[in-house]
Structure 1
Amino acid sequence: MFKILAINPGSTSTKIGVFEDHTQLFEKVLRHSTEELAKYERVADQFEFRKAEILKALDENNIIIHSLSAVACRGGVTKPITGGTYLVTDEVCEFQRTTPYEHPANLAAIIGKRIADEVGINAYFVDSPMTYELNELASFSGHKEIKRPGRFHALNQKAIARQFAKDQGKKYDELNVIVCHLGGGISVGAHEKGLVVDVNDAGEEGAFTPERTGSLPVRHVIDLCFSGKYTHSEMKKFIQGNGGLNSYLGMNDCREIENRASYDPEARKVLEAMSYQVAKEIGANATVLNGQVDAIILTGGIAYSEMITNFIKERVSFIADVYIYPGEKELEALAEGAIRVLTNEETPKIVELYPKEEKTLVTV
């Protein structure tokens, strides 16, 4: 049996879980107050603090780190890479410690490798947010100075696609599926034989979400930018934070909005409009797969909403059968990635982030 520690840092919390093979033994969300984090100038400086909190939680729950077989970490900033399970190397830790692109996810590998080194095991990161598998045609934006970034919920999308394949008695790389992650961000990906060959960028493309605008008419955005009404930072908040459901209804909790929709026709209409845009993304991805779609999968927190999933199903069920896997299984997905390596189902990859001749950072 293999015992895996999974680490998933967020901006004000760190989720950890311990798994024995495919069974979760322990899960905890470690909350970090604003005052605690304010002591640190950079996110990377939180490393020792968060590591100590993790070890304390494990000790309090009688989990001995020397019983671990591997540490599975959320992926942080690297250059764009294909999906899969990667070995956390000293190079990865150095890159994520020094990159100007700070994100709490960078802490996972740094903490995980330190714990793994103390035990004499390996640390891995799984289906990183930097996963980029778009086909060449999908990378075109419409202007040569802009390449479509394709940032999406790679960890959860791929985990759910693998789970669906397992449930069907097949392998992930045998199927063509469209996976919709429905949450604070919405990403709809075309999974072709194990690769996400097209997907909307969850930060600035596709359907609007609880707080994000998704795709907007570009000329109107340009006019707003130069109107004098908004600053640069306010425009960023305009599209991510003050957009979507929040813009139309002044609310961003889909559960509350669904309750409101039972008596407020406008709330119902806005939810249907968001679902309509998700359905359009699914239809577009069906063309990417040449109509050869084995299944459409709805996942993420919003997939708990029967109203929203029904709105979507009504429009896309003619393409393929729709399956619902609500919630996110990120800790489980991290552990499963490590287990695939430990059982020799998958060979861990190694990412090179520095040129061999010099020690300057590769531009991400």
Structure 2
Amino acid sequence: MNEYRILAINPGSTSTKFAVYFNDECKLNRTLRHSIDELSSYKSILKQFDYRKGMIIDALMEEGFDVDSLKYIIGRGGLTYPLESGVYLVNNDMLKHASEGVYGQHASNLGPLIADFIANQIPGAKAFIADPVVTDELDEIARITGHPRFQKRSIFHALNQKATARLHAKKHDVPYERLNLIVAHLGGGISVGAHKQGRVVDVNNGLDGDGPFSPERSGGLPTGQIIDWCFDSRMSKADIRRMVVGEGGYVAYLRTNDAREVEEMASQGNAKAQLIQDAMAYQVAKAIGEMAVVLDGQIDGILLTGGVAYSDYITAYIERKVGFLGRVYVYPGEDELEALAKNALRVARHETQAKAYQPMIDRVDTY
């Protein structure tokens, strides 16, 4: 059997995670932490490029890895233009759009940039991304918002949702493309998607905080009240966005983004923490109900994943609410490095073909 050596890279807001895989076996998994003070010295996310890729290379050297043996370098996909689901070869257009942050600035934009740089230092190596957050498979009817000036954007935890759905399909020995699934990613942000025979035909925008509120995001706020607040508060655009994304949800109500801390507070009799925790689970359950309608009630499974899915209390609450719709399965965690490595391995083993980056600009014009 051929041994394929893979480097997976996942830049996050306060960390850079990377892992080395030899086929399915993880040989190294590291999380490089970045303090707020360290990152604040950089004027933009793009300016962090040298700092972050240098730390990865230094760590690989310290561990004694033969960097030249790594032929598949795969980074988390960032906020480029919308793309179909799949594995993509990094090219100049992708690098340009990730650098510009055409859909917004996020640490994941560094994923293809770092992957490309490292691959270019290794003879015969190639750089990829897989199932980026801008994966767009929405049905046309799902794009309609209620006003022609606005169109729904597909930005969600595509990598983990797709990986969890494929894992579930494999466990049940059924092709993912034959299943109707509802997948709820429960993390710092929350996204709930309707997977219809291999396509995510509807999903809330997990980046902007649309849908259920989460540990860090405000979710769908009352439209009239948010309009009044924007004009009356005299807050800047950046301040209001931070209120909705980053300082909403648990942070706004309880001054923490740690779901474990909130659950502990609730278990100790904190009535406010109990109510807010239940309200988040309640809103997730409602979103699952919406996606049941999208799938016409034909549901092969409801999958709960992400870091918050480690909470037995929250998953049990959601199951009580939605169990009548279909069986609930819990796949806690969000091992995005493993998901990236598996996608690279699928390409290496010719189980799928890497696609050329061809952004769907037609889905952006009316945004």
TM beyond 0.5: yes
Partner residue, 2:198? 194
Partner residue, 2:271? 265
Question: Deviation of residue 118 (structure 1)?
Answer: 2.2
The correspondence for 1:27, drawn from 26, 29, 38, is 29
Equivalent positions of 1:339-358 (< 5 A) are 339-352=345-358
Q: Describe the shift of the 1:49–1:240 C-alpha distance in structure 2 as closer, same or farther (beyond 3 A).
A: closer
Letter in 2 for 1:118: Q
Residue-by-residue CA offset, 1:173-203 (whole Å, 9 max, x unaligned): 1111100000111100001111110001112
The correspondence for 1:255, drawn from 244, 256, 260, is 260
The correspondence for 1:288, drawn from 276, 294, 309, is 294
- Give the alignment's Cα RMSD to 1 decimal: 2.1
1:165 paired with 2:169, answer yes
User: How far apart, CA to CA, are the structure 2 residues paired with 1:3 and 1:200?
Assistant: 35
Question: Deviation of residue 36 (structure 1)?
Answer: 4.5
The correspondence for 1:134, drawn from 127, 133, 138, is 138
The TM-score, its normalising length taken from structure 1, stands at 0.92
Partner residue, 1:301? 307
Q: Describe the shift of the 1:35–1:185 C-alpha distance in structure 2 as closer, same or farther (beyond 3 A).
A: closer
Letter in 1 for 2:192: V
Check conservation: 2:82, 2:359, Cα contact below 8 A.
no
User: How far apart, CA to CA, are the structure 1 residues paired with 2:43 and 2:234?
Assistant: 32
User: How far apart, CA to CA, are the structure 1 residues paired with 2:334 and 2:231?
Assistant: 39
User: How far apart, CA to CA, are the structure 1 residues paired with 2:360 and 2:135?
Assistant: 18
The correspondence for 1:150, drawn from 143, 149, 154, is 154
Equivalent positions of 1:1-364 (< 5 A) are 1-34=3-36, 36-38=38-40, 40-99=42-101, 101-119=104-122, 120-202=124-206, 203-228=208-233, 230-262=235-267, 263-352=269-358
Residue-by-residue CA offset, 1:207-262 (whole Å, 9 max, x unaligned): 11112221111111112122236443332233223322233333332111111212
User: How far apart, CA to CA, are the structure 2 residues paired with 1:347 and 1:192?
Assistant: 22
The TM-score, its normalising length taken from structure 2, stands at 0.91
User: How far apart, CA to CA, are the structure 2 residues paired with 1:295 and 1:51?
Assistant: 39
Q: Describe the shift of the 1:353–1:253 C-alpha distance in structure 2 as closer, same or farther (beyond 3 A).
A: closer
* SS of aligned partner of 1:299: strand
User: How far apart, CA to CA, are the structure 2 residues paired with 1:305 and 1:39?
Assistant: 36
* SS of aligned partner of 1:142: coil
Check conservation: 1:95, 1:353, Cα contact below 8 A.
no
Check conservation: 2:81, 2:97, Cα contact below 8 A.
no
Question: Deviation of residue 328 (structure 1)?
Answer: 0.6
Q: Describe the shift of the 1:163–1:259 C-alpha distance in structure 2 as closer, same or farther (beyond 3 A).
A: same
Letter in 1 for 2:91: T
Q: Describe the shift of the 1:235–1:40 C-alpha distance in structure 2 as closer, same or farther (beyond 3 A).
A: closer
Partner residue, 1:358? none
Letter in 1 for 2:230: C
Check conservation: 2:81, 2:360, Cα contact below 8 A.
no
Check conservation: 1:71, 1:112, Cα contact below 8 A.
yes
Check conservation: 2:204, 2:211, Cα contact below 8 A.
yes
Question: Deviation of residue 27 (structure 1)?
Answer: 0.7
Check conservation: 1:51, 1:111, Cα contact below 8 A.
yes
* SS of aligned partner of 2:146: strand
Q: Describe the shift of the 1:40–1:258 C-alpha distance in structure 2 as closer, same or farther (beyond 3 A).
A: closer
| Structure 2 unmatched runs, 5+ | none
User: How far apart, CA to CA, are the structure 2 residues paired with 1:2 and 1:247?
Assistant: 46
Check conservation: 1:279, 1:316, Cα contact below 8 A.
yes
Check conservation: 1:159, 1:329, Cα contact below 8 A.
no
Check conservation: 1:178, 1:191, Cα contact below 8 A.
yes
User: How far apart, CA to CA, are the structure 2 residues paired with 1:96 and 1:129?
Assistant: 12
Aligned length: 358
Check conservation: 2:213, 2:220, Cα contact below 8 A.
yes
* SS of aligned partner of 2:107: coil
User: How far apart, CA to CA, are the structure 2 residues paired with 1:115 and 1:332?
Assistant: 19
Question: Deviation of residue 268 (structure 1)?
Answer: 1.8
* SS of aligned partner of 1:17: strand
| Structure 1 unmatched runs, 5+ | 356-361
Letter in 1 for 2:110: L
Q: Describe the shift of the 1:99–1:133 C-alpha distance in structure 2 as closer, same or farther (beyond 3 A).
A: same
